[in-house]
Amino acid sequence: MTNDALRHDGRAPDQLRDIRITRNWLDHAEGSVLVEFGRTRVLCAASFTEGVPRWLKGQGTGWVTSEYEMLPRSTNTRSDREARKGKVGGRTHEISRLIGRSLRAVIDTKALGENTIVLDCDVLQADGGTRTASITGAYVALVDAIADAKARKLIPAKAEPLTGSVAAVSVGIIDGRPVLDLDYPEDSTAGTDMNVVMTGTGEFIEVQGTAEGKPFDRAELDALLDIAAKGIVDLTALQQKALAETARERVL
Amino acid sequence: MTNDALRHDGRAPDQLRDIRITRNWLDHAEGSVLVEFGRTRVLCAASFTEGVPRWLKGQGTGWVTSEYEMLPRSTNTRSDREARKGKVGGRTHEISRLIGRSLRAVIDTKALGENTIVLDCDVLQADGGTRTASITGAYVALVDAIADAKARKLIPAKAEPLTGSVAAVSVGIIDGRPVLDLDYPEDSTAGTDMNVVMTGTGEFIEVQGTAEGKPFDRAELDALLDIAAKGIVDLTALQQKALAETARERVL
Amino acid sequence: MTNDALRHDGRAPDQLRDIRITRNWLDHAEGSVLVEFGRTRVLCAASFTEGVPRWLKGQGTGWVTSEYEMLPRSTNTRSDREARKGKVGGRTHEISRLIGRSLRAVIDTKALGENTIVLDCDVLQADGGTRTASITGAYVALVDAIADAKARKLIPAKAEPLTGSVAAVSVGIIDGRPVLDLDYPEDSTAGTDMNVVMTGTGEFIEVQGTAEGKPFDRAELDALLDIAAKGIVDLTALQQKALAETARERVL
Amino acid sequence: MTNDALRHDGRAPDQLRDIRITRNWLDHAEGSVLVEFGRTRVLCAASFTEGVPRWLKGQGTGWVTSEYEMLPRSTNTRSDREARKGKVGGRTHEISRLIGRSLRAVIDTKALGENTIVLDCDVLQADGGTRTASITGAYVALVDAIADAKARKLIPAKAEPLTGSVAAVSVGIIDGRPVLDLDYPEDSTAGTDMNVVMTGTGEFIEVQGTAEGKPFDRAELDALLDIAAKGIVDLTALQQKALAETARERVL
Amino acid sequence: MTNDALRHDGRAPDQLRDIRITRNWLDHAEGSVLVEFGRTRVLCAASFTEGVPRWLKGQGTGWVTSEYEMLPRSTNTRSDREARKGKVGGRTHEISRLIGRSLRAVIDTKALGENTIVLDCDVLQADGGTRTASITGAYVALVDAIADAKARKLIPAKAEPLTGSVAAVSVGIIDGRPVLDLDYPEDSTAGTDMNVVMTGTGEFIEVQGTAEGKPFDRAELDALLDIAAKGIVDLTALQQKALAETARERVL
Amino acid sequence: MTNDALRHDGRAPDQLRDIRITRNWLDHAEGSVLVEFGRTRVLCAASFTEGVPRWLKGQGTGWVTSEYEMLPRSTNTRSDREARKGKVGGRTHEISRLIGRSLRAVIDTKALGENTIVLDCDVLQADGGTRTASITGAYVALVDAIADAKARKLIPAKAEPLTGSVAAVSVGIIDGRPVLDLDYPEDSTAGTDMNVVMTGTGEFIEVQGTAEGKPFDRAELDALLDIAAKGIVDLTALQQKALAETARERVL
């Protein structure tokens, strides 16, 4: 296979899947997004509540956190519910923490005041890249929740809790070639797998690369980072486009 | 208020909300339905697996069961995840068991062979009647899963595990008047609340009535059962209509 | 079998088992009853405590709740303890909630003041009808606990938290005939099984009917409700008789 | 106070409370005893099952174990259920293990064959000495369960799994004087508290002494052991008397 | 074997293993000891915190408690972590409670003020006697933590929370002969096993003896207590010696 | 501060802390290492067992996994035990999974045969870099465990399960300058924190970088990777030196 051959679904190496961002998919949540990266479909709900966890009280700062979970039949074969097993698995914890950290990186918690925003990211259908779709969609829900809080005067109109935008994408090496935004079939065969979280201005928030098969060298790492940066530019544009549109009215 | 006044959303006392049944909303599941009763929105996924739980092995009969759960922000204010709390709540257990019993009532487990179908009902948005929407939607997903199993020759083409159809609806007494298919604002104020599960041929599978405020008498009970029977006729027609249409192709 | 044939234990179709209600079976509890429906034996303890759960504080209303559990060897074969399994099962939750709701239906929580009464119903021996025996016995323990609270001036002497009496009974269809108060052998073979909770004045608090085998029609449902009403009349009389007697002194 | 003054309930220092041992209190269990040490009331159920835990399989030996638990309102103020808390407390574990060890000390597991007997000791009412009452009562239930297993030919008629009898009693130092079989008011004030498990032939199986207040010396320890030995003689006689009587028929 | 034969490791019957007590093995803890009884190696950390558990608040008394745990590979074959199993085992609870009780026996909680000291005893390597090593080492860590609290003026310089010293040792009967401080090979073969906790002045705090094989008589019990008392004298001397030396500086 | 100023403990920016690797610190484990990165002290135990988890059976391949945990007083203030909380925290899961992946990257599971090696990494004292110390130490324990398995002929003498060596180090940006192997005071103030796992031949196994404060750019990322590579060279040399020495004999 030559480096310019197309991928199994016809995409170019540096091409995202079809990305759809549907705002206000829910009526109750202060912000909500159904985000789709191809067949991967994640429902991101932002819940704004006044007050902060006990360990933060009285410090004048807010809190942003996230919980990620997969529906039992989001995957090809059914998985047991974590609630039934009575414990949250390591992978679920890991991804929840990653999403929370990524969003906090663009939040000025002082400007948020003593308020909490929880981002629930529930994977309705999984086809690779659920954590990167979650971060990308949750950012949009977060923007809407903050706007809603301003409209309801829960935070001052001139406060600006957001310090930038954030998006995330996966990259990997398949058959020796770096590719962007892997779907599940690609993810299963990639020798190296990396998730990159960046700001809309091209800086890194989180880089997590893992050699699934053989270790990778510095040149491969550099190529992966290049292609990820390109994908983040595209995702940032799609987020801005979605936010520029008039969203469906929530039925309160 | 007179008995013929319309309800807060303009419905007649014996009128269902807008019901939508979208088949094959998921690609992986053998059967899946996004069912909407007004703003209540439940994702029902039917997972077919060969084999049965240990306690059923070797008896030549299959098993149908269900797990119900609400997404944390399906409701007006966010609830904690049961997985994080490490235990499944009483209400969740109760409804999961009800859905399972209701579907088993129209299943011939001998004809199913030693196979298991799990119906996952995840409430994406709650506005009253989540358990009745779950049963009504899960039945359609179950029909599709059985057809899929026949197509894949996992059960014989001439076996007929389904012995009938099943649907469910809530009824209640509001301001002394029986009404059908309560939404959340109605449910919160109803003096008596009843969930009725019936077959497509008008027989009872389950009747659960609870006096939320003052106890009810036999005449009220009779009126509630009458109106429920009418609702089941309508829901059965909607189920048949959905099943008669050509569903979207799953992308396997 | 003709409709007027006797049952396996010689009872008429509408006849209760031998019912025994022993008050003050315990010394510590504010109210306690060992209730026996034939061989079914449940220990109901009413614990009165000042104060209410956090979510009720400051509203001037009390709380009544219940916890039901079966001893591991109350049944024919030993069951594992829920404490050892680390979680409460669905059936246990369901019945605990039913008992609590049933008793709250005859409680004026305002008149109770900010006090809590917990009804612990522990099944010492199970032979069918443990939930209905629990409700019937717990009511008597509740009456005693309220009298005790008045005697100790924890609630005003002229307050009347009780708005009526409550009892419960099971009914079912066996060989096409409605029968009252099923024991375990009957319960295992009944085609339809219904638990009915009613006030002493003949109104419904809860109706839960389930088709175990084939669905039931409206005529069967009506017949079951008729026979249940008769049983509640008898149980109410037995409760009143027990309460009219002088109970054993508690050794405090 | 002189050494010969009577105790708060009129007992002599070396006198047991009224002990009652009621066999076959339950119908289902292979052996069952309601044992009462004064107001302490424990239901001991022996469940015989064929087979052994996995780690014992194929070794030709049986297993005897125990589970102890207190009902929530067995005590003066209500305790939360361990099942609801989702974990078994340290004290419960400790006593369950003690009962199991004590009974195994008089069992020849080879003679028992690959069978398991579980002794469930559920405290219905607690007034001190629940663990010693449990051991004393459980022994009698164990004897009955073994006789039942022989009658049903689950173990050979000439096998003798029992190598002796076992009973247990508490002793303590109150106001400088050793006393036998403490009730709760005594237990709360005792400076030293000891539980002694012995065979019917006067040998020790377990000795557990704890200085609750100030440490105790060797002379006090010796006096406690003397008085315990006297109590075990009396309890052994009561066990033999109960076993010599004809027990109530179980209704199977 | 004659009574004067040496043990498998060459010790006399009443001889301790090599005991090492290393103070300030940790830098963070207010007191810490690596205690070694031969190859048994336990890390005891004393954590001093201001305040007491909720149930003790406002009574002017402090609290001392302990948590014991074994590292998974402290033993000959690896055990699963209790954290992964999601529950603390019965043996772990039992030993934690024993250590806590033993240390509280030499603490004047009034003099401690409303402060808490937790003794964490983590078994790094187990070769018999881990609970007795834990108590013996934890006492030394406790002394250091109290001295540290005085130095930091968290308790008054002239307060004396310690009322004495405490040490513990195991004794057992092997081949009919009482021996002191059993290592694992001895412990596995001992017919009777006893743990004795005593003060430095020779009084008993706790005596726990168990017949592992056949029951033991009073003469054997007496012999075991004699030899234990001798071991406690030796351990007390070693504790005093360790405390008299200048400990390594903690790097704070 | 200029770029060539020394760090708070006098180290050069690219200088490791004092590293100590003590092999066979335990007697029971097939391989064990007490690894110290300055004051960070981790006990790594490698447990070799025949057989593999169920999901791997019959495939002829082995398994290497890891469990990481911190002792409650390894840190400056005491943390609750995860076993007591009944659940493993997200951070613990995350690090356990990272260690397991890192070691599997240098294992040929075919050559290991159907055997399992568990690496338990228990943090005795934490001062930053516990995960990197764990990986670095666990590798040495793994080498010893494999040598032991060969010596005991549990794997063939000529099999070579190890495909290379692995070490890990943290890097971060402090005051705009990249520094190597951060201790806790540095870690708390670093703007960016990265953990790098590499082979002894300089290839990447895992790269995890997180912007704690402000996002970082590509130039900073490059500088961090450079300094990490230097640190891995030094750690690899220390591992080889430790493995070249004769280790203490285990007392089996």
**pLDDT at site A85:** 83
Helix (H) or strand (E) holding F241: helix F218-244
Nearest CA in chain F to A163: F214
Q: Which of A221-225, B87-91, E29-33, F29-33 has the lowest mean pLDDT?
A: B87-91
**pLDDT at site D225:** 97
CA distance D43 to B103: 41
Token pair 């590292």 in the structure block, residue: E71
Mean residue pLDDT of chain E comes to 94
Q: Residue B252 — very low, low, confident or very high, per pLDDT cuts 50/70/90? A: confident
Instruction: Read off the pLDDT of each residue in A17-42 and give the average, rounded to a whole number.
Output: 97
**pLDDT at site D62:** 97
**pLDDT at site F1:** 40
Instruction: Read off the pLDDT of each residue in E123-138 and give the average, rounded to a whole number.
Output: 98
- Give residues with Cβ within 8 angstroms of D35, minimum separation 6: D19, D20, D21, D22, D41, D42, D44, D133, D134, D136, D137, D140
Measure CB to CB from residue F206 to each of A206, A210, A218 and give the nearest one. Answer: A210
Q: Residue A2 — very low, low, confident or very high, per pLDDT cuts 50/70/90? A: very low
Neighbours of chain A (3+ CB pairs under 8 A): B, F
E96 at F interface, C-beta within 8 A: no
E177 is in an annotated binding site: no
Q: What is the pLDDT of residues B228-248, one digit of tens each?
A: 999 999 999 999 999 999 888
Q: Residue A4 — very low, low, confident or very high, per pLDDT cuts 50/70/90? A: low
ipTM of the complex: 0.94
The amino acid present at D99, given as its one-letter code, is I
Q: What is the pLDDT of residues B185-227, one digit of tens each?
A: 999 998 898 999 999 999 999 999 999 778 999 999 999 999 9
Strands in B104-212 per DSSP E: 115-125, 166-174, 177-180, 192-199, 204-211
Q: What stretches in chain F show pLDDT beneath 50?
A: 1-2
Examine the pLDDT at C74 and tell me if it is beyond 70: yes
Under an 8 A CB cutoff, do B216 and C199 touch?
Answer: no
CATH number of the F19-244 domain:
3.30.230.70
The percentage of chain C sitting over the pLDDT mark of 70, rounded to a whole number, equals: 98
Q: Residue B86 — very low, low, confident or very high, per pLDDT cuts 50/70/90? A: confident
Q: Which of B94, B99, B192 to mutate to test the interface with C (most CBs of C within 10 A)?
A: B94
Instruction: Read off the pLDDT of each residue in C106-123 and give the average, rounded to a whole number.
Output: 97
Pairing of strands A115-125, A40-50: antiparallel
Q: What is the pLDDT of residues E158-198, one digit of tens each?
A: 999 999 999 999 999 998 899 999 999 999 998 899 999 99
Q: What is the pLDDT of residues C200-212, one digit of tens each?
A: 999 999 999 999 7
Under an 8 A CB cutoff, do E199 and D215 touch?
Answer: yes
CA distances from E108 to A13, D174, D192, D228, E148 (A): 73, 21, 17, 31, 17
Token pair 């909607």 in the structure block, residue: B238
Under an 8 A CB cutoff, do D83 and C73 touch?
Answer: no
**pLDDT at site D34:** 98
Q: Residue C38 — very low, low, confident or very high, per pLDDT cuts 50/70/90? A: very high
Under an 8 A CB cutoff, do E93 and D97 touch?
Answer: no
Q: What is the pLDDT of residues A61-117, one digit of tens each?
A: 999 999 999 999 999 999 999 888 878 888 999 999 999 999 999 999 999 999 999
Examine the pLDDT at C172 and tell me if it is beyond 50: yes
Q: What is the pLDDT of residues D178-217, one digit of tens each?
A: 999 999 999 999 889 999 999 999 999 999 999 977 899 9
D165 at E interface, C-beta within 8 A: no
Contacts of A117 in chain B (CB under 8 A): none
**pLDDT at site F2:** 47
The percentage of chain E sitting over the pLDDT mark of 90, rounded to a whole number, equals: 87
**In whole angstroms, what separates CA F108 from the centre of its chain?**
19
Q: With both helix axes pointing from N to C terminus, report the angle between A130-151 and A218-244 in degrees, rounded to the nearest 10.
A: 40
Neighbours of chain F (3+ CB pairs under 8 A): A, E
Length of chain F (residues): 252
CA distance E246 to B147: 81
**pLDDT at site F83:** 81
Q: What stretches in chain D show pLDDT beneath 70?
A: 1-4
- Give the residue extent of every domain in chain D: 19-244
The percentage of chain D sitting over the pLDDT mark of 90, rounded to a whole number, equals: 87
Nearest CA in chain D to E197: D210
Length of chain D (residues): 252
Strand order in the sheet with C63-70: C19-23, C31-37, C40-50, C115-125, C63-70
